[in-house]
Chains A and B, each alone.
Chain A
């Protein structure tokens, strides 16, 4: 069981409110991703749940019990840090066994659990090495191993893949997702990478300046952003947000259209010149300077061979257009 409920949780450092007041429920077994730009308070929120920071006010319930004032060790949660935070003076085996030793577990039983975790994470051959002798990916696996042996109520991940190279990041992303599918334990994952958020989460929590902008399944957020912040943050490349006369035509302060929802079509209505053309093979991303709506990003097929300076016309798919009011919120 690992249901976590935050009720009116507030955190301030001196005069600065990092998290004004926030309510959130993480259901048992859910994979929840906190995503947002740097400094939005997502890591602070995770540390509040972990107990590494004290809340200024509010209540944190873990499995129906008030855990607000419990020390980290008593909350039954495990955390994986961005810097791995392995104990450099201990072997991999001792690193993984450390939480079991702290729990006073029988060494024979602890050894069994360490072996089982090492087996799952492909670390069996490295058990007697020190962290300094491992690669980044292996170190992160050890950190995950140290978390799973405890069989915690929930796992907390604080940007665990940020220090890895791109290829390894994709591998580890998949491994963590598979781990969640096999363990079915609650996981809360902090990242600034919205691709990680989209691919891993059951539920995404988009944070901005300590406030929750929107909570929901990844595709819900993608298809139905609640405001311009979420619209601009979720999706890569970003949604085109257009203001001015063109938005007014649709009765909105801002209109949003995703790059893949703009067609290249003669007589489309938005005429412009290709400024930048990025050919990725499967897709082509075009930055087009239009006369009507400024610069927009367009996602076209890989076979589209437009170049800098080519003049084209664009047509937005009207059914996919998002309208936002003056307060930034979506107009239903």
Chain B
């Protein structure tokens, strides 16, 4: 029989959990708090800052100086576009790896994953020159393409894991029932793997939304997403903490809301297959 933890133990664990949660959330919380103060107050000690008057001035100034809507639109196009494109490529790839594996399938999967271990800056110059020569610098098409390539290994891996959980006999039954490969994917595999596909989609939208290295290197204005919008408020001198915080809060708010509402799906998707 499982032992019931004592009241004291439960309280201690609850406090510890809240402590860890707050610790992780603290930088975001502090950013949000700073964004509601003037530049002068934002650099004061924490107590002084919290007791100083609250204001929306930073938001007003950010709105005035930058085109938030454009960056927001770019972020949506890049994150959603790259994730959907990656799914279109990865679903057939993961299907092949899960259901018709060859001798080198495992090696191929490991190789795909190994590309994620390479420091991105290592290929910055060839990528930049390639983009420049193809006229893709600061274009949404270019950014969607690069984000798709960056996230493809993760998307394939995640889908492969979900597809492996689906019994092959069900797909064989579909084949016996006269389904073409397209019908098999569309009517049987994808509906069955829908929770996994949804989790993959969510996670990759979040990853793409937050990606800062390539978006900062390959965009300047037209295709610049919210990461570039935040970076434009960072400055080597002068007071910029409040405005930077306001820009950051505006940039992370949409993804924070999305993450909050989809956390159940995300956790379910990420722990899929871990417990049977």
Selected from B176, B179, B192, the residue in CB contact (under 8 A) with A79 is B176
Query: Can you name 7 A-B residue pairings with CB atoms under 8 Å?
Result: A73-B175, A73-B176, A81-B172, A81-B173, A83-B169, A85-B170, A88-B170
B169 contacts across to A, CB distance below 8 A:
81-83, 85
The answer to whether residues A83 and B167 also contact, given A73-B180, A98-B177 and a CB cut-off of 8 A, is: yes
B-side interface residues, number (CB < 8 Å): 18
A52 in contact (CB, < 8 A): yes
A231-279 at interface with B (beta carbon < 8 Å): none
CA distance A77 to B167 in the complex (A): 21
Of the listed residues A87, A103, A146, the one surrounded by the most CB atoms of chain B closer than 10 A to its CB is A87
B126 in contact (CB, < 8 A): no
Per-residue CB proximity of B161-205 to A under 8 Å, as 1/0? 000000101101111111110010001100110100000000000
Q: Are B178 and A85 in contact (CB under 8 A)?
A: no
- Nearest neighbor of A89 in chain B, beta-carbon distance: B191
A37 in contact (CB, < 8 A): no
A78 contacts across to B, CB distance below 8 A:
176-177
Q: Are A85 and B172 in contact (CB under 8 A)?
A: yes
Q: Is the interface of B mostly helix, strand, loop or mixed?
A: helix
A103 contacts across to B, CB distance below 8 A:
178
Say how far A53's CB is from chain B's closest CB, in angstroms: 10
A33-54 at interface with B (beta carbon < 8 Å): 50-52
Interface of A toward B, CB cutoff 8 Å: 50-52, 71-73, 77-79, 81-83, 85-89, 98-99, 102-103, 146, 150
A-B interface pairs (CB < 8 A), number: 61
- Nearest neighbor of B183 in chain A, beta-carbon distance: A102
CA distance A85 to B168 in the complex (A): 9
Say how far A14's CB is from chain B's closest CB, in angstroms: 10
A85 contacts across to B, CB distance below 8 A:
167, 169-170, 172-173
Of the listed residues B170, B173, B175, B179, the one surrounded by the most CB atoms of chain A closer than 10 A to its CB is B173
The answer to whether residues A150 and B191 also contact, given A52-B172, A83-B167, A85-B172 and a CB cut-off of 8 A, is: no
A146 contacts across to B, CB distance below 8 A:
173, 177
Of the listed residues B167, B178, B191, the one surrounded by the most CB atoms of chain A closer than 10 A to its CB is B178
- Nearest neighbor of A77 in chain B, beta-carbon distance: B176
Q: Are A73 and B192 in contact (CB under 8 A)?
A: no
A72 contacts across to B, CB distance below 8 A:
172, 175-176
Say how far B190's CB is from chain A's closest CB, in angstroms: 10
Selected from A51, A73, A81, A86, the residue in CB contact (under 8 A) with B179 is A73
By Cβ-Cβ distance, the 6 closest A-B pairs, closest first, are: A85-B173, A102-B178, A99-B177, A85-B169, A73-B178, A79-B176
Say how far B136's CB is from chain A's closest CB, in angstroms: 40
Selected from B175, B177, B183, B187, the residue in CB contact (under 8 A) with A71 is B175
B177 contacts across to A, CB distance below 8 A:
73, 78, 98-99, 102, 146, 150
CA distance A82 to B169 in the complex (A): 9
CA distance A103 to B180 in the complex (A): 10
CA distance A86 to B187 in the complex (A): 13
CA distance A89 to B176 in the complex (A): 18
A87 contacts across to B, CB distance below 8 A:
170, 173-174, 187-188, 192
A102 contacts across to B, CB distance below 8 A:
177-180, 183
- Nearest neighbor of B175 in chain A, beta-carbon distance: A72
Per-residue CB proximity of B133-154 to A under 8 Å, as 1/0? 0000000000000000000000
- Nearest neighbor of B192 in chain A, beta-carbon distance: A89
Of the listed residues B167, B175, B188, the one surrounded by the most CB atoms of chain A closer than 10 A to its CB is B175
B194 contacts across to A, CB distance below 8 A:
89
CA distance A79 to B172 in the complex (A): 9
- Nearest neighbor of A94 in chain B, beta-carbon distance: B187
